[in-house]
Chain A
Amino acid sequence: MEDRKENVARKLGRGFRATLEKIKNFFLSLPARIKQKLAGAKEILTQGNGKVAASMVVMGLGQLLYRQWAKGILYLLAQLAFLAYFILKGAGDLIGFFTLGTHESNAWYGVEGDNSVIMMLMGILAIIALIFYFVIYLANVKDAYKIQCAVDTMKSPASFKKELSSLLGKNFHKTALALPIIGVCVFSVLPIIFMILIAFTNYGGTVVPPALVDWVGFENFTKILTLGQFAPTFFRIFGWNILWAVLSTFINYFAGLGLALLLNRKCVKGKTFWRLFPILAYAVPGFITLIAFKFMFSYGGPINQMITDAGGTAVGFLDIDAKWTARFIGLGVNAWLNIPSGMLLATGILSNVNTDLYEAARVDGASPWKQFVRITLPYVLFATMPVLISQFIANFNNFGIFYFLRGGLYMDGYFLASDTDLLINWLYNMSIDNNYYSIGAAISIIIFAVTSVISLAVYVLSPSYKQEETYQ
């Protein structure tokens, strides 16, 4: 989990500039690319002979006419299979995607109704099948045209056997990438699509199959932002969520940097040894430390024991009324968990700072503080801006901290949440524990929108974006 988070965070940071650049380039190159595609299509349409046209009408027919038996039969089978699927099931699924079911089940009369969730899934699959068919269809037409070109220039077209063996040779990437791509599609892309769609339905609460689910447009979003049941909770949690993300990112970042600078001082001997302690903290799985800290601050925990031994009364650090103590403990625990990785990062970056700069500064009589503010900080900030942003996102969505420290508390004034919960905890409480699926999905879209807008804005305003070449 930790490792993956780090990985994702890194990619995310590196991705920002690349994405911005790529979006720009994409739109700039769009006209040329469309032109190119159209030219290709035009060539096939005008130059293609009757056999290519046959392939356009029935997949594989052109290949058969050219006596490419195996390929022709495969394309023909694909055509037939798709037609059979679409007539028997796909078309119905596609309609079902829009209606999400019309027959409500009725146990009394023994009527088996439509299952809206399954229908939505099948609808998505039908759309994917359509796209897939379209891709194969295009490949089929292109293939027929390629054979025509080969025959016209008196070359013999590639045999099926040869093309098959190219899957281990020239086209090895097609074979190798098939499985990873299918996996990512099913387990990463499908959930994203599914979640986005669910946010626009009324799925959840009492509306779960066998009851029929319906499309409701933006109703869930207006509910969250205006309805008395959700809106106060949303804005309270949202405010705290922003404060938490800013505070915790700030604390972790500068504490990590400070620790790295401290250990980097010339007078410190045995740097590797001292570094082992934060690494030790970094290495222990997060859930273990979180549960341990919960024990530490619990009523029977060692801290309270010491307080009672000293004659005091036990303090409910994480109790239902312990708003700010709990929040501060959360910040502290989060710092304990994340400072080590911040330190490792800063250490790595500090080793790349140009030492001549410090030499020059010392000659000019700059104080250590001035050196830090004028040389170290700008450099480190510049180099770590993408990481800083991804840490902000990770903190904004820090599920673990309050799930473990205070999980499952529901408070007055909050709808299924407590005053330390972040949006991500609320989302969990709502959708996993209490079946408010569509509201949960809408919240996750809001979270995504908020975090991406904030991080994009910070990034565009940051020096690492404005003066890209400063340190190159």
Chain B
Amino acid sequence: MKRRKIRPKRLFGAAITYLIILAVCFVFLFPILWLVLASFSKTGSIYSFRGFFPTEYSFDSFVKLFTDTEMYNYPRWFLNTLFIALMSSLFGTTLTILTAYCMSRFRFKSRKALMKTTLILGMFPSFMTMTAVYILMTQFNLINQRWGLILIYSAGAPMGYLTQKGFFDTISISIDEAARIDGATNFQIFMRITLPLAAPMIVYTLLSSFVWPWSDFILPKLLLKNKDLYTVAVGLMALDNTEFSRFAAGSVFIAVPIVIFYFALSKFLINGLSAGAVKQ
């Protein structure tokens, strides 16, 4: 008897839950769906849409994006972004892995001091020094240079070494010791043993230090004034208001790799985020 009494109530609760979930998912999906569909609009102008969505569909926007480059040179921006992100990712990962390895494996005198310093430096948000970076870069003559950005991105990367250090901490030292008995130097151990073992972490570091320059807008906006050097972010920001489809197409094109990356790592994201929060 009791069971039957609860059931309709439960069903009602479930229905409400699903309704809310559907609404929320709609809210999250809608702007993205809008963008994707707009990128396939035939006319390209936002004024020809009926309400939110285009009336006719085609690939024209994407074709235009890569062929009509006189005003808005998207292929150029894309290559710039790719170059900056790839280089920053390579250098940044190298520096981060080296830092994390040293912090995890060596007990040297200034280790604690270094760790404290990075902690304190982390409390100064990077944008706070925006003005100073801008002036410094002007003085170093690194304004309007892709290398200037790469330098900043990769030099800042080792500050986030903690995740990687945690990973190295989990690799057993006994292998290192065995190799050391056989006469290997620390450098050899690092190259031949630690690096191959840390492959998944290296991939993660490569990807995450790729994503940041790939989707950053503040630094490139600050340092790249020349239209030919724009990254996609700065370029899309400079688009005229009427070029909505072009913006949508350009966005879809640059967002897809990142979205795939996040989906591939979604499980890791949940664990990583909460691990960072609980472990203190």
A residues with CB within 8 A of B: 1-4, 6-8, 10-15, 17-19, 22, 117-118, 121, 165, 168-170, 172-177, 179-181, 183-184, 186-192, 194-195, 198, 259, 262-263, 265, 267-268, 274-289, 291-293, 295-296, 298, 300-302, 305-306, 309, 336, 340-341, 344-345, 347-349, 351-352, 383-384, 386-387, 393, 397, 399-400, 404, 424, 427-428, 431-432, 437, 440-441, 444, 447-448, 452
Contact = CB atoms under 8 A, between A and B. Distances in A.
A345 B266 contact: no
B201 interface: no
B154 interface: yes
Given A352-B274, A448-B124, 7 more contacts: A10-B277, A172-B185, A275-B266, A282-B262, A285-B215, A302-B51, A397-B127
B74 to A, nearest CB: 14
A208 to B, nearest CB: 10
Contacts of B132: 190-192, 194-195, 198, 441
B168 to A, nearest CB: 13
Contact of B120 (A19, A168, A191, A295): A19
Contacts of A276: 263, 266
B158 A283 contact: no
Contacts of B99: 176-177, 180
Nearest to B260: A283
B274 A259 contact: no
Contacts of B217: 1, 286-287, 400
Interface of B: 10, 13-14, 17-18, 20-21, 24-25, 27-29, 31-32, 34-35, 46-47, 49, 51-52, 95-96, 98-99, 101-102, 105-106, 108, 114, 116, 118-136, 139, 151-152, 154-156, 158-160, 162-163, 185-188, 190, 208, 211-212, 214-218, 222, 233, 236-237, 241, 244, 247-248, 251, 254-255, 258-259, 261-263, 266, 269-271, 273-280
A1 B160 CA distance: 13
Pick from A17, A22, A295, A351 the residue with the most CB of B within 10 Å.
A295
Given A277-B24, A283-B259, A348 B122 contact: no
A280 B259 contact: yes
B254 A288 contact: yes
Given A11-B162, A194-B136, A172 B108 contact: no
Contact of B18 (A3, A268, A340): A268
Pick from A296, A298, A404 the residue with the most CB of B within 10 Å.
A296
Contact of B241 (A11, A298, A393): A298
Mostly, the A contact residues are helix
Contacts of B51: 302, 305-306, 309
B160 A8 contact: yes
A121 B139 contact: yes
25 contacts: A2-B212, A4-B212, A10-B273, A10-B276, A169-B187, A173-B106, A177-B98, A180-B95, A180-B96, A187-B133, A187-B155, A188-B124, A192-B129, A262-B17, A268-B17, A278-B25, A292-B247, A306-B52, A309-B51, A348-B271, A349-B278, A399-B218, A427-B130, A431-B130, A448-B124
Contacts of A444: 128-131
Given A283-B259, A448-B124, A263 B21 contact: yes
Contact of B185 (A169, A186, A189, A340): A169
Mostly, the B contact residues are helix
Contacts of B131: 195, 198, 427, 431-432, 437, 440-441, 444
A296 B27 CA distance: 14
B130 A432 contact: yes
Contact of A291 (B52, B105, B236): B236
A383 B278 contact: yes
A308 to B, nearest CB: 11
B277 A387 contact: yes
Contacts of B244: 295
Contacts of A293: 31
Given A14-B279, A173-B102, A344-B270, A296 B31 contact: yes
Pick from A183, A189, A437 the residue with the most CB of B within 10 Å.
A183
A183 B163 CA distance: 20
A430 B223 CA distance: 16
Contact of A302 (B49, B95, B127): B49
B128 A278 contact: no
